[in-house]
Amino acid sequence: MGKLIATRDAFGEVLVELGERYKNLVVLTADLAESTRTNKFASRFPDRFFNMGIAEQNMMGVAAGLASCDKIVVASSFAIFSTGRAWEQVRYSICHSYLNVKVVATHGGISVGEDGSSHQATEDLSLMRPLPGMRVVVPADATETKLAIRAAVETDGPFYIRLGRPKIPVIFEDSCPFQLGKGYRLTEGEDVAIFACGVMLYQALEAEKNLRREGVKAQVINMSTIKPIDTQIIIEAAKATGAVVTAEEHQVTGGLGSAVSEVLAENFPVPLERVGIKDRFGESGTPEELFKKYGLTARDIEEAAKKVLRRKG
């Protein structure tokens, strides 16, 4: 395994770079400057940083107002409070008004760990995905995070970018083919297609290696953009393999698994297995323990791949 970097750390760094370039970039947080790493931007650009206190709903409303006055706004809290507590403000003030607000949330998923379920967002993607105009991105590592944040700041309109708390493996050391709205294949294989996002991409790549040793050739596709979903790559992969697995650190309803299912059902139905959290809340524990308990390991992806292969017949 190579380097380990938390996606929130990459976010903190790239935000400072973007602050230099875009003088109208304003950053908000809700008493979580250090945890979200927006404190870096705060010390570099104190005049364009506002701590809104523990008041996420107001933060999203203020973000909308700032954006309506030609600011590019990054509003950052934990994923559960950004999307859950402030959902209707994000829906109406930000998305309905189609404003330039980038909701960049850290602490997505159960890898939050010991804080437990109150702080583990496992429904955020399903909350953000149906909002008209919203773009939803879940970067797989630090490198892709920087590209995604840059793309969000440089693209007009609302974004939801989901980042994580712990350090995770860097997959893209030198270059990353990230393009907003595009999935991309990282391995070739004709037996099964594995679509993954966020930290699950690493697990998918591990699973791919193990499967290959057992003679199963999987194509692993990074679906960091969940909305707009890249229908073309999903249909292509389904045609090439006839069997699909999705993997996400989220409930299996409403997120990546649902997005891929919808495209398949409407265009080219093939057997599908979804790896993710199965209709339960998280709990306290280390990220590793929780990934095991909640079925989010490479092993779980391998099993899903074998199961879907049997169904393919």
Ligand X SMILES: Cc1ncc(C[n+]2csc(CCOP(=O)(O)OP(=O)(O)O)c2C)c(N)n1
Residue numbers annotated as active site: 56
d(CA 133, CA 94): 10
- What is the signed CA dihedral for 183, 185, 189, 191, rounded to 10 degrees? -20
| Window 55 to 94, contacts with ligand X (CB under 6 A) | 81, 85
d(CA 20, CA 68): 21
Please, what is the minimum distance in Å from the beta carbon of residue 84 to another protein? Answer: 8
Residue 1: burial class (beta carbons within 10 Å; 0-12, 13-18, 19+)? exposed
Q: Is 293 in the site for another protein (CB under 8 A)?
A: yes
Judged by CB under 8 A, the residue of 15, 32, 220, 259 near another protein is: 32
- Angle (CA) 120-125-127 rounded to 5° is 95
Residues 105-134, one symbol each (x = binds another protein by CB under 8 A, - = not), give --------xxxxxxx---------------
Q: Is 98 left (phi over 0), alpha (psi -120 to 50) or beta?
A: left
Judged by beta carbon, residue 79 or residue 229, the one nearer ligand X is: 79
Distances (CA, A) of 187 to 217, 220, 225: 9, 5, 18
Please, what is the minimum distance in Å from the beta carbon of residue 31 to ligand X? Answer: 4
Please, what is the minimum distance in Å from the beta carbon of residue 36 to ligand X? Answer: 11
Q: Is 92 in the site for another protein (CB under 8 A)?
A: no
| Window 8 to 37, contacts with ligand X (CB under 6 A) | 31
Which tokens belong to 304? 């899903």
Binding-site size for ligand X (CB under 6 A) equals: 4
Binding residues for ligand X, rule: CB under 6 A, are 31, 54, 81, 85
Q: Which residues are near another protein by CB under 8 A?
A: 29, 31-35, 51-55, 57-58, 80-81, 84-85, 113-119, 283-286, 289-290, 293
